[in-house]
Structure 1
Amino acid sequence: MRREAVGHTPQRARSASVFVNINMNDPDRLKWPFYVLKLPQFSLSPMKLINCNGGTGFGVKFTQSSVQADYIYDTDRHGEEYGLVFPFTEIFLNGNAILMDYINLGKKPTENPKSLQVLEILLSFITHIEEAAKALQPVEKQSSSEGKDGASESDWLARLAVHFLSPLSLTQEYILDKQSSKMCQECPCRCSCKKVITYGNTSIGHPRTWYGHFDILMGKFGNEKGKVTEVNVGATEVPMETEDKSDTIFEFDEKLSDECPSQIEEEIDQLHSRFSQLISQTIVLSFYQKKYEPSLTLVPSIGVSESHIQFNFYDCERDVYLLSREMSLFYDDDKKGLNLSTVIATWLVLNHKHLISGTSEEMREEKFGFHSKISKEILHLFKHDIEMGWTMFKPYIFQDNILLKRYKVLSKDPDVVDAKYPKT
């Protein structure tokens, strides 16, 4: 029995066994982690949409979105189904070439200043990777009401933006959602860097489509505080959650009798518990990006917890959706060493405008299906009317008081109405 993609994710990328002690001043430091990034546990899967509420014509919050999707399957010569997967770097041929030249030949792309800058960003981060790992660790606080390890969610977002996402991006500017319930004035890291945290308007959508906020936006921002002039990537935090029976998938064995069903509980992976939200955000961001930068193909967004990160990609022109495995941010549960394979993947995504090549022909053989699941009218809204940085936003919703405003009575005479019913 095929299930929704939620709760149906392949195994997370395991990384503790691939930790190696490497010399940070040698190009070989990237060789093994980059090789690991191309293995199945870090792969990409094309997705197929089953149903969603993005085409209702009503405004639906990202947090209330509903998306049912599954992996795209093929059949081997024995008739067994298997999910299609592709190496993570297959959509980053430009980035792959830059790193392979550097790893194998010690060559930097000096003929292309922008590519050289992007490579130097990665090399600089790796040089200080231990400091970055330390800065991401939570600072113990007196209050236990602020979240796991005494650190609030806003603290984690601030540390993540300042010490991980920003230094790995050529465009190092970011804003955090100014509607956050708790805001940090300075970076709450262990290294006491005291960097000022920047907040702004991260809203995106349309009153008749999905809409809401990202927790973090990476891009370029105008003189007006928090005003978006160019967005590169949006990121959403998935909070650490305790076990919730409502977030459990039940699989019933149809071969057994109805009187004695086999009920197998399968807990949803942490990031996958926000499956619908992350997909709806990625789709909306892709349409927005495509409107302002028509040359873009795959547009990524990020789902991230305090232990894992996952990348979503959508090509809104070709209607192709790719989902990565959940990748461990750290090599072990102590969170003392950043996973270098995950660091490289994040670097590729944050700098996708310079490193991405787009989908291969094989990836495009079967469409995601979003275009065909919604009406032409709503698809036109997605293509042309998605905006970012709303100041006044009123979603279109059902209003039962519409009859108090304007209506037409088809028959005013009660006798005419009564005449329609048979007399006793």
Structure 2
Amino acid sequence: MSEKYKKMAGYLNLDSTEQHSIKDFTESKEENTAQKNLEVIITDPELARFINLEIHNSNAEDGTCFNDAFITLKSTHDLRRKRAGFITGRPKCQVVEMKNILDTNILDVFLAGGVNAIEKYAEPVCQSFLVLLNFLKDMKNHESAIGKILDAIPKNATKETRITAGLAHHLFSQLVPNKMYEVDKYAKQLPKTCACGCNEDICRGDTSLGSRRTWHGQVDVMVNHTIAVVIQNIKTNVDDDDSGDDEEDTDANEPARKQRKLETDKSCDMCVEIKGNRRYESVLLDVKVLNQILAEAITNGFAQVNKNNNTLSHFLIPTFGVTSDHVTVCLYDPENDCLLHIDDELELWLDKGTRRNLDPETIVIIWLFLNFTVLTKKNLATTKLHKSGFQESLKENLMYYRETKAKEKIAPQTIEARPWKKITKEFVHP
């Protein structure tokens, strides 16, 4: 394959670390790091779990853009009714632990025998583990590159576009075997080369999804032509002066994971009213942003199964929400209408203040879902999970989602200022 074709197809240039075989990582530091973090992810139910979402209402049949998507979750609706006194008892939501989503058969083999035990598997499995080990080996270079992009003053690109390109180039694409990605070619002032100084070309392309009769638009990044990534700019940090904060802070000194557990034990409200901590305002769990992520996850799920029914049928297809500091994951199975969303943001950095060290647990979780066809369970939604109710609510309009495709240009619609202008008027005679 020529270098020109590789760039057109979205391939990154391979660095020296890509020449390693999986055997080269036997008893290596990278193998140990991967095993240690995988074990925590599988065994710690508090680290990352998913809420089985049910939709009460949406504007999915209106043909709106992703950033205008409107979704009311059943849990939110029930909580409002409880507060209004219409129902008694605490609203409930179903929780799915990470270990029940992952293919623990493969992961247990790796935990027990390392890379030597993985060699017996087919190439897709070996290649998936190899990209993780390669990334861990070269992680200092990638986190340095991302850090430079986040700290640099924008020149030829807006801050958000620069972050989008950098995360696509140095993070998400590095955790899939073919390193294929596309950044929305219509993004404002998208740089031609990576802003970290590596001078690698940024792979741009058509990332459009949906149709005029479905939610639609361009996703920020498409990884391997399959997985959508929604990048959101970080909001301004809350001032250190807490004088304007009237909320009680009884749990403020607890470790983040313990505090998350305390909030979960107190109430199920966290799946519908997630409170950012006192030092920053949550971006990815803001209602408008969350609606956009859910809409893209659902629409992309349909588009991918419509295109790759033989390989993606009955998988929970992931979509990522990302800022410069946090990551969320949304999963949707369009054949079984099952929608899951991670219950809390994942920290991208171990030390968010300096952004010097990427959090290896978060990196491994990203890797697991980027390689979902190898590392997650199929037909999970056919077991005890609740349907989202999305498809039932659409009725005859569901056909448009079952026909939706990717990479189709969607003509913008102009809305008449007076919608009654071209409507036949019937006069009422009292």
- Once residues 308 and 80 of structure 1 are traced to their aligned partners in structure 2, the CA distance between those partners, rounded to angstroms, is 30
Deviation larger for 395-404 or 269-278: 395-404
Q: TM-score, normalised by structure 2?
A: 0.72
* 1:45 alignment counterpart: 51
Pair 1:143–1:122, CA change in 2 (3 A): closer
Q: Distance in 2 between matches of 1:32 and 1:321?
A: 29
Query: Secondary structure at the residue paired with 1:272?
Result: coil
**Aligned match for 1:381, one of 387, 395, 400:** 400
**1:269-324: CA deviation from partner (whole Å, max 9, x where unpaired):** 22112110000011100111111122422111110000111110011111111111
How far apart, CA to CA, are the structure 1 residues paired with 2:387 and 2:50? 15
Unaligned runs of at least 5 residues, structure 1: 1-22, 74-78, 220-230, 245-250, 252-263, 411-416
Is structure 2 residue 226 aligned with structure 1 residue 232?
Answer: yes
Match of 1:123 in 2: 133
1:377-416 superposed matches below 5 A: 378-384=397-403, 386-395=404-413, 400=418
Residues 1:329 and 2:348 aligned together: yes
Q: Map Cα deviations across residues 109-163 of structure 1 (whole Å, 9 max, x no partner).
A: 334122111111111111111222111103444569977xxxx111111111111
Which letter maps to 1:134?
Answer: S
Residue 295 of structure 2 is aligned to residue 280 of structure 1: yes
Pick which of 235-244 and 59-68 moved more: 235-244
Which segments of 5 or more consecutive residues in structure 2 lack a partner in the other structure? 1-26, 79-88, 239-246, 248-272
Partner of residue 334 from structure 2, selected from 289, 292, 316:
316
What is the CA-CA distance between 1:196 and the residue it aligns to? 0.6
Q: Give the equivalent residue in structure 1 for 2:16.
A: none
Deviation at 1:339, TM superposition (A): 1.2
Q: Which of the two has higher C-alpha Rg?
A: 1
Contact 2:50 2:95 (8 Å CA) reproduced: yes
SS at match of 1:171: coil
State whether structure 2 residue 150 is matched by structure 1 residue 153. no
CA shift, 1:100, in A, is 2.3
2:187 and 2:105 map into 1 onto residues whose CA distance is: 40
Residue number in structure 2 paired with 1:196: 201
Q: Distance in 2 between matches of 1:363 and 1:239?
A: 37
Distance 1:395 1:167, change over 3 A: same
Name the CA shift for 1:126/1:265 in 2 (closer, same or farther; >3 Å): closer
Q: Is 1:110 equivalent to 2:110 in the alignment? A: no
Distance 1:380 1:235 in 2: 25
2:213 paired with 1:208: yes
Q: 1:269 aligns with which of 279, 282, 303?
A: 282
User: 2:30 touches 2:133 (CA, 8 Å); kept in 1?
Assistant: no
Tell me the distance in 2 between the aligned counterparts of 1:183 and 1:26.
Answer: 34
Aligned length: 345
Among 338, 352, 376, the alignment partner of 1:356 is 376
Asked whether the 8 Å contact 1:53–1:65 carries over to 2, the reply is: yes
Which segment is superposed worse, 266-275 or 353-362? 353-362
RMSD: 3.2
| Counterpart amino acid of residue 233 in structure 2 | P
Partner of 2:264: none
Counterpart of 2:73 in structure 1 is: 69
Is 1:175–2:182 an aligned residue pair?
A: yes
Alpha-carbon separation, structure 2, partners of 1:145 and 1:162: 17
1:398/1:355 Cα in 2 relative to 1: closer, same or farther (>3 Å)?
farther
Give, as a single letter, the amino acid of the residue that structure 2 aligns with 1:209: T
Mapped to 2, the partners of 1:90 and 1:71 lie a distance apart of: 22
Name the CA shift for 1:144/1:176 in 2 (closer, same or farther; >3 Å).
closer
> Which of 346, 353, 361 does residue 341 from structure 1 map onto?
361
2:40 is the alignment partner of 1:30: no
SS at match of 1:163: helix
Match of 1:84 in 2: 94
Q: Separation in 2 of the partners of 1:344 and 1:277?
A: 25
The structure that is strand-richer by fraction is 1
Give the letter aligned to residue 382 of structure 1. Answer: Y
Larger proportion of helix: 2
**Per-residue deviation, 1:360:** 3.4
Of 238, 241, 244, the residue aligned with 2:235 is 241
Task: Name the CA shift for 1:301/1:142 in 2 (closer, same or farther; >3 Å).
Answer: closer
